[in-house]
Structure 1
Amino acid sequence: MRAIVCLWAVWAVASPTVAQVRGRVLSVDGTPLAGATVTLRATETRTRSDMDGAFVLEAPAGEAVVVGAARGYFNGSRVVIAPADEVELRLDAVPTEDEPHALASASSCGGCHTTQASEWARSAMRHAGTNAWVHDVYDGSGTEGGEGGFVYTRDSIHREASPSSECAACHEPLRWAVEPFASLSHLDDASPSLTEGVTCTICHQMVSVDLSRPNAPGLFPGVVRFARPADGSPVMFGRLGDVDYVSPGAMRAAYLPTIGSEVCATCHQDANDPDHDHDFDEANSVVSEPTFLEWLASDYANPESSSFATCADCHMRTTLEPRACNISLPYERPEGQVRSHDIRGTTAEYLENALTLTLDAEFRDGALHADVTLTNDLTGHHVPTGVTVRNVILLVEAFANDARLAQTEGPVLDALAGEGDPAEGYFGGLPGKLYAKRNHGAAGPGTPPVFFSEAVGISADNRLAAGASDHTTYRFALPSSDAAVEVRARVIYRRAWRALVDAKGWTEDGHGRPLADLSGPDFGHLMESATRRLSFVATDGGVDAGPREELDAGPPPDAGTTPSGGGCGCHTSHGGPTTLAWITLFAVARRRTRNAG
């Protein structure tokens, strides 16, 4: 009994007593704020206020800092001694003015947020304005061969009615924030509006996005609003809701839980405006960037789903950083609360963790059959997504003793995979399938795809939606004699149509990195691959397979599993007209560690 009492005493000393903090969240004029978030600062302990603004928050007994946050208000905190009752958290409203004065550059943020500024400086966001491909398509000035192929300012049917084409709305937003409808600055322009691309204040001072007009591009007037008080006082939005630090003249934290999704919609969802009436959601508008609405229609956008994840949850990785700034504060944050600002998208890590590929092969009915399934089980939007030149190629090939077997049935890659020598990455005509969204112009469906600005319709869209699978089947001719047969399936990501790459003479991507689309053996980024090896033994003209070694393969593995056995075998009854063959099946799969991002 004494031992039990002693153990209880030790536990009581080691374990902090849980107490309750009760109170209300109010505006400064005393109006109850329902649905406000109340957080024990720098923890995952939080609750929400009820219709009367009342809340109950559990906290360790003793001193605690409780922070209230509500959309449209600055965060407000109180130091309390828990347990505590009748705690009032009064929140100041964020000013509603959106005076068109210039937003601060990243240099004003980097002094206190050095790590985040350094991460952002490496990101595609920072380089949105200096993306050479964007300048090549807009005015042909991005690269030496940029005037090849389509150039908007020269070739577009809309170049006079809409000379800017709204490019700068996303690629030079600092300029658009004060000068709507401005054209994209020249690539040689060294001003921060171009060189900083999508900078800190673009995301962290955006107060609202009108989602009833989701297809308006970028910082379109009347759709996107910033918190820009006339007196220039700073407002900085975040989604943690427990930042109570105030730096007079530099920043004051406010709550915006949708900063990880709605803010992204401004540039990752848009359509064209062929009649130039500034209505991008009418019937004759053709969607270009579809990513936000793809996510919104998926299970990933459902807060009640186990798959729920915002754009930031996937594309801004968690870190082990205990602080989000250089200021010496009396607390540290738990692992994972501070996210990286090296915002990633079509990097190797993400491309190789987007889809799942399965491949099965067998000899049947006088032919070699290959069955391929491609599943979008790891991505919260379509694959591929983004601008319509993006495409994914499924390439399926069969070889006997390293000689290519002829395809007899099944889909083939069309001209958009490239017309020319397969050894140079021109895969048109080979077995497989190309996944993409294809816009057509006034010439109608069936013609080569056009840029979104010229589109009047969508000829086809067979991209893989979140959670969707696509199955294709291929037949190949049998070898003429005994052979080691190999079936290969590859999933390859390309940043642009091969014809466009050739027309522009691109050898690097828009950020100056070597272009994988031109590099063998895959001529694109290899997302997934799978290989099946079979032994074909034919006697009496392929009528009798003869004896074979018994092997047990177990269940067919997918592209990401190590095979559990050595193979499997089968044969048909003797004497029939069907070609007989014994199969020794081995699975060789390329795999990577899965990580949803």
Structure 2
Amino acid sequence: MFLVPVLLLIFLALPGPGGRETGAAPGGGISGTVSDGRGPVAGVRVRIQGAKDFVVSDAAGGFAIRDVPAGKPVRVSAWKDGWYCALARDVKAPREGLRIRMIRYQINDNAKYEWIPPVGKDGCSSCHNASLIAMSLEDAHLKSAVNPRFLTMYAGTDTKGNKSPPTRYAPGTGAWNTSLLPQRPDPAGPYYGPGFVQDFPDTAGNCSACHVPGTSLSGNIDPRSVRGADRYGVHCDFCHKVADVHLDPVTRMPFRDVPGVRAMSVRRPFTNDPDRPQLFFGTFEDDNVPEEDTNLPLLKESRYCAPCHFGVFWDTVVYNSYGEWLKSPYADPKSGRAKTCQECHMPSPAIHKGKALTNVAPGKGGIDRDPDAIHSHNMTVGPEILRNSLSMSAAARRKDGRLAVTVELHNDRTGHHVPTDTPLRHLILLVEARDRRGKPLRQVDGAVLPEWCGQAKGRQGHYGGRPGKAYAKLLKERWTEVVPASAYWKHTDLVSDNRLAAFARDASSFAFNPPSKGRATVTVTLLYRRAFIGLMEQKGWDVPDIVMARWSRAVN
């Protein structure tokens, strides 16, 4: 069996250091032919399992691997795009006439296939490294179906199960006087935040196309109804069954009306097929389980991520981390800065609890590999990756009778906007200046944080009106004019977007009245907040801010 989707180093099938095309049978090596039962197969990459170098079968299916130690049993692996990996075990050099049989993997999808869960007796954990499984279970993709923020937004509840009333409607005005338009919640009644169900009670919506894709292949479903392996959301078995992703050939973007799994070709196997009982797409060309596993080059491409990292509701692009990457130098192979999504979010080696993984299936046919061939399976955007996503610099000094502070943010390390995807996310740049006794100094110039950063004076996390700046993509509900809009499945319009694109810089200045005596202390803090604080309090989400950067200096 294969890993959860990973990016592994793929060596090009070109003559030279990586591979060579040959059909000759050298002495002291292993030679033979590759066929599919109907004839020879050319262009197959053949290697000793675990080796970086390979040879390429010629037009007659012939191959020859030189310099193989004599008498030592080895495994000979073969792979070509569109075929299962093939494996010949216990081959000893010198050997001529080795025959390797290739089998094409299926091109149809079995809708009756039952997904394999990540854990359990017959789950992925029955073969794979425990660290690999633990790492995967920590990842947000495997929690996408049960994420409390997702479910409470879908159901219109708080975390205790209290439910907001259905959306109210009333006749519009002007050109809309014959239409019933959504209204703001009744301020006199209970309210636990927005919910898709309240706005569209007669449809399941398309949320499941990304959050529970495995059970949404035949249509949208209510994500609260999922069972079995689909409780793990974007789970291992699903990701390993994605054969292709369909994008607009002109824009290279997903089609606006084809979200998530709708833009994917999935290959669920027919388990009663003796030649093709299973199919796992992965990134090893020399895997251990013939007629089950194969390498899929797509898994190293950013477009694999595109269908669920671009979302349009009505006529508004709500989230678009894939498109942001596509417009950046990271997507340009000629820029000298090119990187795929996987290179940043699934880096190698895969480190779990301080130890690098070297074998993905120990005791189950797996082999020890170069740690750089195995990549992280925890793509969750946590504190470590956030703190490494951009740079912050600051300076403070007395100037013209004021305490002047300058701050610059530079997105020098991230291939998309910071923050990205759901517009609930935002950055809060908090600037504080205090005298020697810790008393705040009065601000006389510069921006202050908006009301939606929290208006309750003295309450933890409420920073509205304090010196600083917020970075966010702000939407407004079209009919109710609620800003910032959290229910982005409604009609919304873009109000502003000052997030930091790849390599963008933003500078801001602030000024304070200096203390009459002694020195001042200036502290600049950059916070990452996953949702607007008013929404978090309505829903009961306990999601602390993440400190991305902090700077502090004493100014005499």
Fold shared by both chains (TM-score > 0.5): yes
> Paired residue for 1:209?
245
Higher relative contact order (CA 8 A, sep 6+): 2
Distance in 1 between residues matched to 2:443 and 2:34, nearest whole Å: 71
- Cα distance change of structure 1 residues 485 and 346 upon mapping to structure 2, 3 Å threshold: same
Q: Is residue 83–residue 104 contact of structure 2 (8 Å, CA) maintained in 1?
A: yes
> Paired residue for 1:137?
153
> Paired residue for 1:184?
223
> Paired residue for 1:438?
474
> Paired residue for 1:491?
526
Q: Is residue 20–residue 56 contact of structure 2 (8 Å, CA) maintained in 1?
A: no
Q: Is residue 20–residue 54 contact of structure 2 (8 Å, CA) maintained in 1?
A: no
Offset, 1:70: 3.9
> Paired residue for 1:224?
264
Offset, 1:468: 1.9
> Paired residue for 2:398?
363
Offset, 1:372: 0.7
For residue 526 of structure 1, the aligned residue among 547, 551, 555 is: 547
Does residue 424 (structure 1) correspond to residue 460 (structure 2)? The answer is yes
Does the residue aligned with 1:202 lie in a helix, a strand or coil? Answer: helix
Distance in 2 between residues matched to 1:533 and 1:461, nearest whole Å: 34
Q: What TM-score do you get using the length of structure 2 for normalisation?
A: 0.76
Does residue 125 (structure 1) correspond to residue 141 (structure 2)? The answer is yes
- Cα distance change of structure 1 residues 340 and 432 upon mapping to structure 2, 3 Å threshold: same
> Paired residue for 1:549?
none
Q: Is residue 416–residue 501 contact of structure 2 (8 Å, CA) maintained in 1?
A: yes
Distance in 2 between residues matched to 1:304 and 1:57, nearest whole Å: 35
1:550-589 aligned at under 5 Å gives the runs none
Deviations 1:341-365 (A, max 9, x none): 3x23221222222221100112222
- Cα distance change of structure 1 residues 231 and 335 upon mapping to structure 2, 3 Å threshold: closer
Offset, 1:492: 0.3
Distance in 2 between residues matched to 1:472 and 1:176, nearest whole Å: 46
Offset, 1:467: 2.0
Distance in 2 between residues matched to 1:408 and 1:394, nearest whole Å: 17
Q: Is residue 514–residue 520 contact of structure 2 (8 Å, CA) maintained in 1?
A: no
> Paired residue for 1:295?
325
Distance in 1 between residues matched to 2:361 and 2:60, nearest whole Å: 35
| RMSD over aligned Cα atoms | 3.5
* Greater mean deviation of Cα atoms: 77-86 or 319-328: 77-86
* Greater mean deviation of Cα atoms: 230-239 or 19-28: 19-28
Does residue 109 (structure 1) correspond to residue 109 (structure 2)? The answer is no
Offset, 1:424: 2.2
Distance in 1 between residues matched to 2:312 and 2:386, nearest whole Å: 25
Distance in 2 between residues matched to 1:477 and 1:262, nearest whole Å: 52
Does residue 240 (structure 1) correspond to residue 281 (structure 2)? The answer is no
Q: Is residue 398–residue 404 contact of structure 2 (8 Å, CA) maintained in 1?
A: yes
Does residue 270 (structure 1) correspond to residue 314 (structure 2)? The answer is no
Offset, 1:302: 4.0
Deviations 1:359-404 (A, max 9, x none): 0112222322111111122223221112110111111122222222
Q: What TM-score do you get using the length of structure 1 for normalisation?
A: 0.71
Distance in 2 between residues matched to 1:422 and 1:159, nearest whole Å: 39
Offset, 1:90: 6.7
Computing the radius of gyration from Cα coordinates, the structure with the larger value is 1
- Cα distance change of structure 1 residues 102 and 81 upon mapping to structure 2, 3 Å threshold: closer
Q: Is residue 180–residue 220 contact of structure 1 (8 Å, CA) maintained in 2?
A: no
Offset, 1:271: 1.9
Deviations 1:274-301 (A, max 9, x none): 3xxxxxxxxx2x2233122222333333
Offset, 1:418: 1.4
Deviations 1:538-575 (A, max 9, x none): xxxxxxxxxxxxxxxxxxxxxxxxxxxxxxxxxxxxxx
Counterpart residue identity of residue 240, structure 1: F
Does the residue aligned with 1:125 lie in a helix, a strand or coil? Answer: helix
Deviations 1:88-143 (A, max 9, x none): 97743321102322342224322111423333223322221111111111113561
Does residue 391 (structure 1) correspond to residue 430 (structure 2)? The answer is no
- Cα distance change of structure 1 residues 307 and 423 upon mapping to structure 2, 3 Å threshold: same
- Cα distance change of structure 1 residues 292 and 51 upon mapping to structure 2, 3 Å threshold: farther
Offset, 1:209: 0.9
> Paired residue for 2:353?
none
Does residue 335 (structure 1) correspond to residue 371 (structure 2)? The answer is yes
* Greater mean deviation of Cα atoms: 465-474 or 86-95: 86-95
Counterpart residue identity of residue 533, structure 1: A
Distance in 2 between residues matched to 1:296 and 1:83, nearest whole Å: 50
Offset, 1:266: 2.9
Offset, 1:218: 5.2
Q: Is residue 446–residue 459 contact of structure 1 (8 Å, CA) maintained in 2?
A: no
Distance in 2 between residues matched to 1:352 and 1:493, nearest whole Å: 10
Does the residue aligned with 2:214 lie in a helix, a strand or coil? Answer: helix
Long gaps (5+) in structure 1? 1-17, 275-283, 509-514, 517-523, 536-597
Distance in 2 between residues matched to 1:440 and 1:56, nearest whole Å: 65
- Cα distance change of structure 1 residues 30 and 152 upon mapping to structure 2, 3 Å threshold: same
For residue 110 of structure 2, the aligned residue among 93, 99, 107 is: 99
- Cα distance change of structure 1 residues 477 and 104 upon mapping to structure 2, 3 Å threshold: same
Distance in 2 between residues matched to 1:168 and 1:420, nearest whole Å: 36
For residue 207 of structure 2, the aligned residue among 161, 167, 181 is: 167
- Cα distance change of structure 1 residues 501 and 37 upon mapping to structure 2, 3 Å threshold: farther
Instruction: Give the number of aligned pairs.
Output: 477
